[in-house]
Structure 1
Amino acid sequence: MATAKSLLSFDNDNTVDETLFARIAQDMEQQGFSILPAALPEKLTNSLHLHQRAMDESMFVDAGIGRGDNFIKNDFVRTDEICWINGESEAGRDWLNWTGALQRYLNRRLFLGLFSFESHFAHYRPGDYYKRHYDAFKGQANRVLSLVVYLNPGWTEQDNGELVLYRDDNDREGIKVVPLMGTIAVFLSEEFPHEVLPARRDRYSIAGWFRINGSVTDRVDPPL
């Protein structure tokens, strides 16, 4: 098995380039979100793209709201399908090692206390959507940072399917993020409502969340 260092580097000299992490941290400090077109390391982007496209459709399930006993499928809110990433594939392991390195960097730079990370592949068929929502509500969840990356080569503005990130509840215009291959979007989960607009073609991405440790005496959170 390859070492964590080699999985993370994607560089010729086998070192971890933290320049991208520094840019994300700077954006988070200044505005609470970071949108970086085609910024995910190319090797990792291509590996994730090829893996997701090769996955059997039976591995995906209809997405819903909530987890575990609180899960509800609601087509009024969202119509995409997902597959959780558990690190069983090489691409999944590379992804989790990269996000783990980002987590350690942000904790060191911003003192966020990020404890764990969860993520899933997402597939939006033509016409699918995810209406305006928060990834976490203040005081009610332990998601701190939301992370989205896009795996769509040759995407154009005419294909639609943008992520729209709103600055607050009163913002009606928002910031549109075109789901270009390798584009990264990171934002504070409790601060920015957002939505996914319908696309004209199949749209592929990964959505993930960095969490704090919300465990109490009789409840483990995040769950094992």
Structure 2
Amino acid sequence: MSIKVLPAKSLYVENSIPAFSREEPFANLLMDLQTKGWSIQDDFFSTDFTQALMDEAESIQNAVMLQAGIGRKKDHQIVLDARRDYIQWIDPDKPIRTDFLKMMAEFRVALNRHLFLGLFDYEAHFARYEEGAFYEKHIDAFKGESNRILSTVLYLNEDWQNSDGGELIVYDEHDPAIEVGRFFPKKGRLAVFLSECFYHEVMVAKRTRHSIAGWFRVNNTTGSALDPEQ
């Protein structure tokens, strides 16, 4: 009996492949954000770059991920009735993670240049929703109380079907009872929206769902506290 040997996955090397799929990767995003405050872009990154991020997300062991919670710093708490995903914060400790953060830094520069948002940095984490996991309707920042300005979610799921659930629902800025769209977490799809303006939720996933959630932030450092801080 012959044994089929599958080729090993090649390790990603820093700056080894083009990151973006378009010559002007930010143009459509900037236009959407300027006109309506949110945007959904498919195939934002190149196929190979997205695959490298997907490989990285899938390689993370559950044991080293954290149960996601609600609130920040001293107000942080685990509320399983509100959200059930697991996360791992992204540091520039591997080539693909370093390059992802570099590309989002380029996006931050474009945002500041064209929309004058005064963004200071970007933080992000891998998120894993196991079967049955969800995140109830919420907003990422409360007006006047947070340094999160712009939220991003990059989806890293192969062959996602509508029956797999796990869709992102974005609600109207002026009436959070009205849906403006439902978007399935298909591979390479990027969602971006103003953190203080748009309620959103993640519906129950019927299979394991991977993404990178991130936030562009302003600097709220004061004389008594350094900021930003995760």
TM-score, normalisation: structure 1: 0.91
Amino acid in structure 2 at the alignment position of 1:182: G
1:100-136 per-position Cα deviation (integer Å, ceiling 9, x unaligned): 1100111111111100110000000111000000000
Q: Which runs of 4+ in 1 moved over 6 A?
A: none
| Deviations, residues 182-204 of structure 1 (Å, cap 9, x unaligned) | 00000000000000000110000
Match of 1:146 in 2: 151
Residue 122 (structure 1) aligns with: 127
Report if the CA contact (8 A) 1:47-1:91 is conserved. Answer: yes
Instruction: Name 1:208's counterpart in structure 2.
Output: 214
Name structure 1 gaps, 5 residues minimum. Answer: none
Which stretch shifts more, 74-83 or 61-70?
61-70
Which residue among 207, 217, 223 is the counterpart of 2:223?
217
Which amino acid is the alignment partner of residue 193 of structure 1?
Y
Match of 2:193 in 1: 187
Aligned counterparts of 1:137 and 1:7: Cα–Cα separation in 2:
39
193, 196, 201: which is aligned to 2:202?
A: 196
Could you list the runs of 5+ residues in structure 2 that have no partner in the other structure? Answer: 1-12
Match of 1:77 among 75, 82, 93: 82
Provide the rounded CA distance (Å) in 1 between the counterparts of 2:163 and 2:220: 42
Question: Is 1:59–2:64 an aligned residue pair?
Answer: yes
SS at match of 1:20: coil
Secondary structure of 2:179's counterpart equals coil
Aligned mates of 1:97, 1:23 — CA distance in 2: 20
**RMSD (CA atoms):** 1.9
Count of aligned pairs between the two proteins: 217
Give the structure with the larger helix fraction. Answer: 1
Determine the structure 1 residue equivalent to 2:136: 131
Contact 1:8 1:98 in 2 (8 A): no
Give 1:173's aligned residue: 179
Q: Secondary structure at the match of 1:215?
A: coil
Per-residue deviation, residues 37-86 of structure 1 (Å, max 9, x unmatched): 23222222111100111122222110001233221110111011100001
For the residue of structure 1 that corresponds to 2:30, the secondary structure is helix
Would the alpha carbon gap of residues 7 and 140 (structure 1) be closer, same or farther in structure 2, given more than 3 Å must change? farther
